[in-house]
Structure 1
Amino acid sequence: MFEMIIRWYKRRFSDPHAVSLVAILLFGFITIYFFGHLIAPLLVAIVLSYLLEWPVNRLSKLGLPRLASVLVVVSAFIGLMLLALFGLIPTIWKQIASLLNDMPNMYTTFQMYIASLPDRFPDLADLQLIEVIMNNAQTKILGMGDTILRGSMASLLSIATLGVYLVLVPLLIFFLLKDKTELINMFSGILPQNRRLATKVWDEMHSQISNYIRGKVVEIVIVGVASYLVFFFFGLRYPLLLAVAVGFSVLIPYIGAVAVTVPVVLVALFQWGLGPQFYWLVIAYGIVQMLDGNVLVPVLFSEAVNLHPVAIIVAVLVFGGLWGFWGVFFAIPLATLVKAVWHALPSTDDNDKQNQSSYY
């Protein structure tokens, strides 16, 4: 067993470039895992810089100087963020408060419906089981209230953190975009000299990460707007809140769509019951989800969707457990990175070819 591990190690890590690649990846993993909370504003700025690099390049190609392009794009981005902060967030907060106020009535309606099951289906419903379910539901709701209360008590700290982000992140974005070449050269100077494989993986992943971030933002906007139009057309309660939840659910492949469907269906069920309007809303919402999964995602992520669904779900679970939100957000690129690194490492065939070439 030990000899087999040694042979595998020699086969994969006989090249010093492979060792440098693994060392760079380990250093990045350790840095983000242990110090990610300290450099969180920098990580957010890097992600947003990837997103804003595309319009900056387009303006530069039109003849505008790089600095002027950066100033225009960053100013437009700050304006959009302020519009969202003072336009969308107050409305979403009002709908959250309205939902919390309606939850007791929803629970009462649900309790009355569950209590009527023994009379409506005497052969199928178990009264003791129903009581256990209702007691558990009541306990969960009370626990949810305590969680909301604790969250509101900690909101002052969140507001302070948000204020820091609102100041630091735009500044970091500006300097990352303006001094992009200088920063890349400075970072390359501290990397190992034997980094041929690392450069190969970086060249492959750089464009994929940029396209992924841009495509994911476009998907969030399209799915969110389409869902809002559907909810608004049918007169569903809390349309903006639910549409934002549906939009951000695309961050978690497969799992997010299933999780966000539950509150949408429950709100519609409590509002209309099992009536025609409920079924039409569910059909329209299902069409939005179907178009997202079968049309929008293949168009935006033609390279990433080559990963098997099981690999994507495992990547979401693993990287989400390691890095939380950012692990979930970058689950697909990270899975692609693992695949690219595995293919980049030397194999037995590569070593044989190198030995044959050196022999001749």
Structure 2
Amino acid sequence: MIHSVKLPFYAKLACVLISLISFAYIFCIAKDVITPVLMAFLFAVLLLPVFTFFNTKLKFPRHLAAIICVLLFAAFIIGILVFISYEVTDMANDFETIKKNANAFISDLHRFIKENFNISIGEQKKYLDNVTKDSVKNGNATIGSALISITDLLVDCTIIPIYTFLFLIYKDHFILFLAKLINKENHAALKDILSQIKVSINNYIVGLLIEMTTVAVLTSLGLWIIGIKYFILLGLITGILNLIPYIGILIAGIITVLASLTGSGETSIILGILIVNVIVQLIDNNLLVPLIINSKVEINAFVSIMGIIVGGAAAGVSGMFLAIPLLAMLKIIFDRIESMEAWGYLMGNHVPRKFTWRVRRVKTES
């Protein structure tokens, strides 16, 4: 365990808070640079066993082994994207059917609102026209933001594989750098921290892949039962978007509802889609996440939710995805630093026994 200088409680608390605020501020102002680096670090840790196999077992040079690892990972991602694009192209052939069923569904919705809320169809259309006009006014800004987001995505897709390659190549160099920062008597603790971080990140990402696959299979099965045409594609999209906390499943539900209009615009089909999504989410949140995700990173739900919210506010979807592994790394570090053990315990998922205060009574002379 790494020992530190003894300081009063208020001094230690001030140092911790100042450090957290400083790191958060640096991350916010430099998120466009830091986020791709952190993503590449996670991918490099995931690919490290494959890199070690090519480099150590098959005696490939380090550069060649790293290139093969990155190419295999890129091929896996591209294969998924090609399958999705192929299915989406097939779905686009049913655009006229989607448009027809969407209009029928909207008409039914107008009638339902008129019958139950006494709002005429004309008033509903007038309200929609006003909303549309407001949206058109902000259309240029929205298009500009979308173009910037697409440009940033393309840049990240180019630079993250490069960063991943460099992390694999300079792995030993970075470890030696960390070893030079601390005293030799603490090298054993550093080795333990790096080993645990590697295991935690690998377990987390593998757990995410298992969760994504399970959600995709369950969703596809449910959509197939209720008769949705593109059930495999929609299940896969739901599994992928489920990796984005909170908003991912909402986007997947909207896409599924729109895709269901290729067959029929009946309300029962849309209700069936909602029921399938709710059942899958109940299984995911109450079974998959506790067994697969939380057991891997040992972070309690309160800290996880707070981290996801803060990560989303700081760096959007990427920040939400990075929140859990970063918290897991912090917990591993805190657990091995004597003065930070309390913070590591706070982040943990341990259920304590009933705590009893131990008060020492002082005898007084009468």
TM range (shorter): 0.5 to 0.7
Conserved? CA contact 2:216–2:238, under 8 Å: yes
Flag the 1:225–1:310 CA change in 2: closer, same or farther, 3 A: same
- The one-letter code of the counterpart of 1:43 is L
Conserved? CA contact 1:304–1:332, under 8 Å: no
Asked if 1:333 is matched to 2:325, the reply is yes
- The one-letter code of the counterpart of 1:296 is L
What residue in structure 2 maps to residue 250 of structure 1? 242
What residue in structure 2 maps to residue 53 of structure 1? 48
Flag the 1:212–1:146 CA change in 2: closer, same or farther, 3 A: farther
Q: Which residues of structure 2 form unaligned runs of 5+?
A: 1-6, 343-366
What residue in structure 1 maps to residue 177 of structure 2? 186
Of 150-159 and 171-180, deviating more is: 150-159
Paired residues in the alignment total 331
The residue correspondences of 1:134-283 to structure 2 (distance < 5 A) are 135-137=126-128, 139-140=130-131, 161=152, 163-186=154-177, 189=180, 191=181, 199=190, 204-228=196-220, 230-231=222-223, 234-236=226-228, 239=231, 242-253=234-245, 256-257=248-249, 260-261=252-253, 264=256, 268=260, 271-275=264-268
Q: What is the deviation of 1:38? A: 3.2
Asked if 1:73 is matched to 2:69, the reply is yes
Question: Aligned partners of 1:40, 1:209: CA distance in 2, in Å?
Answer: 16
Equivalent of residue 28 in structure 2, options 20, 26, 33: 33
Question: Which secondary structure does the structure 1 equivalent of 2:32 belong to?
Answer: coil
- The one-letter code of the counterpart of 2:30 is F
Conserved? CA contact 2:308–2:323, under 8 Å: yes
Question: Aligned partners of 1:219, 1:148: CA distance in 2, in Å?
Answer: 37
Q: What is the deviation of 1:317? A: 1.8
Flag the 1:115–1:156 CA change in 2: closer, same or farther, 3 A: closer
Conserved? CA contact 2:207–2:296, under 8 Å: no
What residue in structure 2 maps to residue 16 of structure 1? none
Conserved? CA contact 1:53–1:177, under 8 Å: yes
Conserved? CA contact 1:96–1:241, under 8 Å: no
Q: What is the deviation of 1:211? A: 2.2
Flag the 1:333–1:77 CA change in 2: closer, same or farther, 3 A: closer
Equivalent of residue 78 in structure 2, options 76, 79, 82: 82
Q: What per-residue deviation string (whole Å, max 9, x for no partner) do you get for residues 212-259 of structure 1? A: 233223433442354345435654256466435422332244564456
Question: Which secondary structure does the structure 2 equivalent of 1:127 belong to?
Answer: coil
Flag the 1:73–1:253 CA change in 2: closer, same or farther, 3 A: same
- The one-letter code of the counterpart of 2:241 is S
Asked if 1:113 is matched to 2:105, the reply is no
Q: Which residues of structure 1 form unaligned runs of 5+?
A: 1-5, 14-18, 350-360
What residue in structure 2 maps to residue 92 of structure 1? 88
Conserved? CA contact 1:228–1:239, under 8 Å: yes
Flag the 1:65–1:9 CA change in 2: closer, same or farther, 3 A: farther
Q: What per-residue deviation string (whole Å, max 9, x for no partner) do you get for residues 259-296 of structure 1? A: 64455457658935244x66665555555434433443
Q: What is the deviation of 1:329? A: 0.6
Of 83-92 and 96-105, deviating more is: 96-105
Question: Aligned partners of 1:204, 1:58: CA distance in 2, in Å?
Answer: 20
Flag the 1:100–1:148 CA change in 2: closer, same or farther, 3 A: farther
Q: What is the deviation of 1:10? A: 3.4
Q: What is the deviation of 1:209? A: 2.7
What residue in structure 2 maps to residue 3 of structure 1? none
Conserved? CA contact 2:212–2:242, under 8 Å: yes
Question: Which secondary structure does the structure 2 equivalent of 1:172 belong to?
Answer: helix
Question: Aligned partners of 1:338, 1:143: CA distance in 2, in Å?
Answer: 45
Question: Which secondary structure does the structure 2 equivalent of 1:325 belong to?
Answer: helix
Question: Aligned partners of 1:101, 1:338: CA distance in 2, in Å?
Answer: 52
Question: Aligned partners of 1:147, 1:94: CA distance in 2, in Å?
Answer: 32
Question: Aligned partners of 1:23, 1:78: CA distance in 2, in Å?
Answer: 39
Question: Aligned partners of 2:104, 2:198: CA distance in 1, in Å?
Answer: 53
Question: Aligned partners of 2:185, 2:132: CA distance in 1, in Å?
Answer: 55
Flag the 1:167–1:279 CA change in 2: closer, same or farther, 3 A: closer
Flag the 1:297–1:183 CA change in 2: closer, same or farther, 3 A: same
What residue in structure 1 maps to residue 313 of structure 2? 321
Flag the 1:281–1:61 CA change in 2: closer, same or farther, 3 A: farther
Q: What is the deviation of 1:174? A: 1.9
Q: What is the deviation of 1:320? A: 0.8
Question: Aligned partners of 2:24, 2:113: CA distance in 1, in Å?
Answer: 53
What residue in structure 1 maps to residue 11 of structure 2? 10
RMSD: 4.7
Question: Aligned partners of 1:44, 1:96: CA distance in 2, in Å?
Answer: 33
Question: Aligned partners of 2:290, 2:274: CA distance in 1, in Å?
Answer: 24
Question: Aligned partners of 2:140, 2:132: CA distance in 1, in Å?
Answer: 12
Question: Which secondary structure does the structure 1 equivalent of 2:47 belong to?
Answer: helix
Conserved? CA contact 2:204–2:297, under 8 Å: no
What residue in structure 2 maps to residue 353 of structure 1? none
Conserved? CA contact 1:230–1:284, under 8 Å: yes
- The one-letter code of the counterpart of 1:9 is Y
Q: What is the deviation of 1:348? A: 11
Please give the TM-score of this superposition, normalised by the length of structure 1.
Answer: 0.67
Question: Which secondary structure does the structure 2 equivalent of 1:50 belong to?
Answer: helix
Flag the 1:75–1:127 CA change in 2: closer, same or farther, 3 A: closer
Q: What is the deviation of 1:328? A: 0.8
